[in-house]
Structure 1
Amino acid sequence: MNIDSAVNLDDIRKLAKKKLPKIAFDFLEGGVDDERCLERNRKAFERHALIPRYLRDVSRRDQSMTLLGRSYSSPFGISPTGMGGLFRPKADLMLAEAAAQANIPYLMSSASNDSLEAAARLAPRNTWFQMYGTLDDRINADMVRRARDAGIENLVITVDVPVNSNRERNRRNGFSRPLKMTPAIVMEALGHPLWIIRYLMTGGVPMMENWAPYAPEGATPREVGELFGTLTPAAMVNWETLERFRGIWPGKMVVKGILHPDDALQAVRAGADGIIVSNHGGRQLDAIPSPVEMLPAIRGAVGDEVELMLDSGVRRGSDIIIAICLGARFAFFGRPPLYAVAAAGAEGIQKTIQIMQKEIDMVMAQIGCASLTQLHAGYLYTGSSA
């Protein structure tokens, strides 16, 4: 199977699995502990069904959505994901360019391999910047400055990583950050020659460009990665930290990783313009509810004025429709775009976006909805048979 014959996102995932060595695929695919949260994220969507309304004119359908003052062509975007260069060189810029072409948001991770400045030059209207609070307030402030100077409008602060998590797949595989290519890893990777060739031709372990300015001049990618590891996570990050970000950021601020309604309210009080309800794709805590389960309570707590978004477990166009019915305005996905970039580069990302757009369009027609603004909880059926 090649990318042209892929009919859904799981087809593209299977292609990525063939292209990547086990250590890279498991880093992308895996969760924490027993990985029950990965299954819970999917089952939470499956507990909802959509109730179609027929004999409505759906000959013209509009899936555009306005978010944080900007209109996007579809109600989904690309979640922040680190180490994209491990799957294909310049992956982060491929994601940014594809998002710009499709007019959807690309949330660039501060743990990306390409720089925020390069992404902003390539996709100035579509690139958001995601960052964590670090142990160094000067670096926090400088990253905010760089995002502002690059013309980025939306800053995303991820709050659900107080400590490193127990990613057992990575531990079994010998994955460390920065990545160290042991003989065992190299032997397994030899079964994926194209990945090995790209890895070697680009100098091996990819540089974390956003962090290079804070390392000594001439620092290697490994040394920059070690710097990142010493500064994050920062367990002392708290609400005052968030307020400091708000005080120095002139644009829209989004808080990512909220799951409790009280935290959502406090984020709004701290100056958040939007909230991404997320459990980090099941990569931080295994015994945790899915965002789908918590979204209605959070919407009820913050009211209709706050821009609520969702990520974790989104794999189908129907998932996005369900999320909007439950109170989200937008949904994001992280793993599928990286499967795509691993499977076929820019062409794979374009294919992934097209599949999601087509699925959303089809679901809208099937349920009798010509515009996403018409969606509400009345389109949902939740029951034991769903």
Structure 2
Amino acid sequence: MKLQSAVNLDDLRRMARRKLPRIAFDFIEGGADDELCLARNRAAFAQHRLLPRYLRDVRQREQSVTLFGRRYASPIGISPTGLAGLFRPDADRMLAAAARAADVPFLLSSAANAALEDALPVAPEHVWFQMYCTSDPAINADLVARARKAQVRVLVVSVDVPVNSNRERNRRNGFSRPFRMTPGVALEALGHPMWVLRYLRTGGVPMMRNWLPYAPAGADAGEVADLYGTLTPAPMVDWEHLRRIRAGWPGPLVVKGLLHPDDARAAVALGVDGLVVSNHGGRQLDTAPAPLEMLPAIRAAVGPDVPLLLDSGVRRGSDAVIARCLGADAVIFGRPTLYGVAAAGQAGALHALQIMRREIDAVLAQIGCARYEALDAGYLWPGMAAATASSTCESAVPAEAPLAKVWG
């Protein structure tokens, strides 16, 4: 299947599934426990209907958004995803390059295989850095200092992994730390010869290079992964840890993973500049609500001016539109761009972003709203009952043509 024949993100998913051995594909695909949260994230979008407005001039559509002082071409971005190098060597740099080409943010994970210092030069205006607080305060401070030295624009702190979750697909496949290529895994992988060739050519399990500076000299990839496993998760992390990061970071600070409105309000009071409303893509707490379900309450808690990004379950351009109507400034997603990079490298990741951009553009035209930033609850049914009588979008019925005359 050629890349251009992938007309939606699910097509990219099928391409990736053919390219990857089960152990790798399931690592992308899987969630926690019974994976009910994965389904809930998608079902939350299906609960909403977009109510179109017609007889509006939508020849020119605009979907750019401003986030933390920079204008981006689309209201989308790439979520932080660890171990991307397992799916294709140098995947993190490919994702950064795709984000630059699409002019959208890429949240580089601290669990990436590329080091922050290597990925940022690929797209210095587009790479944000995501970190977890570890059990070692000195390492936490050093990660912030490295981000500051590298001139990262936005620092993102994920707070929704107090302990490792029960990811049963990984356990069944033998995906554990340190990673071992068991005979059964190797036999299944032989059905994906190009992946095996790349895996062997690059030395096997890729190095988590952000953590190499904290490992003993000469540590191999498995030893660095073990170190990461001793430092994270860190169940002692609390608001004081976040306060220290705020004190040491001069730029925009975003917290990812809060779902309770009171937590969102507390983060903003502490000095956080924005939030990513997320349940970690259904990979942590299987009984958690979908972020879309919590979005209106979080928007009400933090007010209209705090940037909110939504993550988890985004698969269609209409999802980005619905999220905006409910209070989000933009959406981010991780699995679709991993599908793309696994299927076709940088071109595949860029194709995923282009698919979303095209879909958003088409939906804006279909509902009669020429600007993404002008979307509001009036474009949702039955949310329109709470909307103002006149939409904020342009090209409504002109004053010189009152309804009485329009209808005769």
Name the TM tier (shorter chain).
over 0.9
SS in 2 for 1:211: helix
Matches for 1:52-91 after TM superposition, within 5 Å: 52-91=52-91
SS in 1 for 2:284: coil
Per the alignment, residue 342 of structure 1 pairs with 342
Equivalent position of 1:51 in the other structure = 51
Shift of 1:373: 2.0
- Distance in 1 separating the partners of 2:254 and 2:321: 22
**Which structure 1 residue ranges, 5 or more long, are not aligned?**
none
- Return the alpha-carbon distance in structure 2 between the equivalents of residues 177 and 250 of structure 1: 35
Q: Which residue of 1 aligns with 2:358?
A: 358
Name the amino acid aligned to 1:363: V
Q: Which amino acid in structure 2 is aligned with residue 374 of structure 1?
A: A
Alpha-carbon shift at residue 270 of structure 1 (Å): 1.5
Where does 1:267-306 land on structure 2 (aligned, <5 Å)?
267-306=267-306
Distance 2:71 2:178 in 1: 38
Report the CA distance between 1:381 and its aligned residue.
1.4
Question: Is 1:251 the equivalent of 2:281?
Answer: no
Look up the match of 1:175. 175
SS in 1 for 2:210: coil
Residue 157 of structure 2 corresponds to 157
TM-score by length of 1: 0.98
Q: By how many angstroms is 1:230 displaced? A: 0.4
Gaps spanning 5+ residues in structure 2: where?
384-408
- Check the 8 A contact 1:76/1:105 in 2, yes or no: yes
Q: Percent identity?
A: 66
Q: Using structure 2 for the length normalisation, give the TM-score.
A: 0.93
Aligned pair count reads 383
Provide the C-alpha distance between the structure 2 equivalents of 1:57 and 1:359, rounded to a whole number of angstroms: 18
**Structure-1 residue corresponding to 2:313:** 313
Name the residue aligned to 1:96: 96
Displacement of 1:2 after TM fit? Answer: 2.0
**Equivalences for 1:100-111 in 2 at 5 Å?**
100-111=100-111
2:79 alignment partner AA? S
Which residue in 1 is equivalent to 2:326? 326
Letter in 2 for 1:169: R
Cα deviations by residue, 1:187-210 (Å, 9 ceiling, x for unpaired)? 110110000000000000100010
Q: Specify the alignment match of 2:133 in structure 1.
A: 133
Q: In structure 2, what is the Cα distance between the partners aligned to 1:109 and 1:230?
A: 18
User: Quick one: distance in 2 between partners of 1:286 and 1:68?
Assistant: 32
What is the distance in 2 between the residues matched to 1:75 and 1:280? 19
Please tell me the residue identity of whatever aligns with 1:222. G
The 1-side partners of 2:29 and 2:14 are apart by: 11
3-state secondary structure, aligned to 1:296: helix
State the Cα RMSD in Å: 0.8
The answer (yes or no) to whether the contact 1:73–1:103 under 8 Å persists in 2 is: yes
Give the whole-Å Cα distance in 1 for the aligned partners of 2:305 and 2:60: 28
1:23 aligned residue: 23
Say which one has the larger Rg. 2
- Please give the alpha-carbon distance, in whole angstroms, between the structure 2 residues aligned to 1:377 and 1:356: 21
Q: Which runs of 4+ in 1 moved over 6 A?
A: none
Shift of 1:382: 4.8
Q: Which residue of 1 aligns with 2:227?
A: 227
Deviation at 1:53, TM superposition (A): 0.4
**Conserved in 2, the CA contact under 8 Å of 1:47 and 1:382?**
no
Distance 1:59 1:19 in 2: 40
